[in-house]
Amino acid sequence: MTMIVGHVSALARFPVKSMAGETLAIAEMDWQGIEGDRQYAFVRAANGTRFPWLTAREVPGMVLHRARFADPAAPKTSAVEVEAPDGGLRALHDAGLHAHLAEAAREPVSLIQVARGVYDSMPISLQTSAGHRALEIAHGGPIDSRRFRINVTIESELRPEQWQGRRLAFGDPSEDGAIVHCADPIQRCVLVTIDPETGAKDSTILRTVAQRFGACYGLYSAPARPGLIRVGDPVRILA
């Protein structure tokens, strides 16, 4: 027995870790996550720790660079373009872009590609309209949801933590929709303080998330069946 708990209202993927991403009408999900998501990352070349990635923690302006696949339908083979804050467009492998990031980071950087995605934890992030609305109410004003870099946003009256340990199916049961297994709430860090339009920091947002929601926003999930997720898809919770 299944029950519809909402509809997909937005999809996003992020070709480069910590850069702004691209919205999608259809996302293809395989066993490692959404195709093309977090496929590339910049690395702090001299950093030998378990977290060598160059992120907006070190260079907040990374979130103002918008990465997208030149051929959105073929992320496995497509080149990646990066739109800078001034509107200029460069190839991801452009030496000038790398030099700019290295200068901002004040250390050497290099670019890597990881086919399975460079994730901090699990590959799919979910949030619902009810979950985001609860944060805005607690904060006392609107908050740009792009701060949280969610893959799948669901229009629903339920908050996603109600689905922990359950499976969600997307689309009509007779079609090729994906199924995910819902796991843990997503622990948030200083990245959510960075405005996706200006790069300015607002520490009060992280304070609200920490004090009112245990530092969590959204829900991690993992692929349970590869398939497609489409904007407008019904979302069913599986018994």
Compute the mean pLDDT over every residue in the chain, rounded to the nearest whole number.
Answer: 95
Give the H or E element holding residue 225. Answer: strand 216-225
Tens-place pLDDT, residues 16-69: 999 999 999 999 999 999 999 999 999 998 898 889 999 999 999 999 999 999
Tens-place pLDDT, residues 195-231: 999 999 999 999 999 999 999 999 999 999 999 999 9
90 strand-pairing partners = 82
pLDDT higher than 80, residue 174 = no
Which amino acid type is present at position 123? P
Sort 99 into a burial class: Cβ within 10 Å, 0-12 / 13-18 / 19+: exposed
Please indicate whether residue 65 or residue 115 has the higher confidence score (pLDDT).
65
Separation between Cα atoms, residue 71 and residue 3, nearest integer Å: 36
Q: What class is the 2-238 domain?
A: mainly beta
Residue 150's SS3 state is: coil
What does the pLDDT average to over 121-142?
97
* Phi, psi torsion values for 83, nearest 5 degrees: -95, 120
* Residue % of the chain over a pLDDT of 90: 91
- Report yes or no: 112 and 138 within 8 Å, Cβ to Cβ: no
Separation between Cα atoms, residue 234 and residue 2, nearest integer Å: 11
pLDDT higher than 90, residue 173 = no
pLDDT band at 1 (very low <50, low <70, confident <90, very high): low
pLDDT of residue 116: 86
Separation between Cα atoms, residue 166 and residue 181, nearest integer Å: 6
- Report yes or no: 194 and 20 within 8 Å, Cβ to Cβ: no
Please indicate whether residue 173 or residue 76 has the higher confidence score (pLDDT).
76
End-to-end CA separation in angstroms for the chain: 6
Domain residue extents for the chain:
2-238
pLDDT of residue 175: 81
Tens-place pLDDT, residues 117-131: 999 889 999 999 999
Of 134, 116, 95, the C-alpha closest to 38 is: 116
Separation between Cα atoms, residue 206 and residue 57, nearest integer Å: 14
pLDDT of residue 179: 97
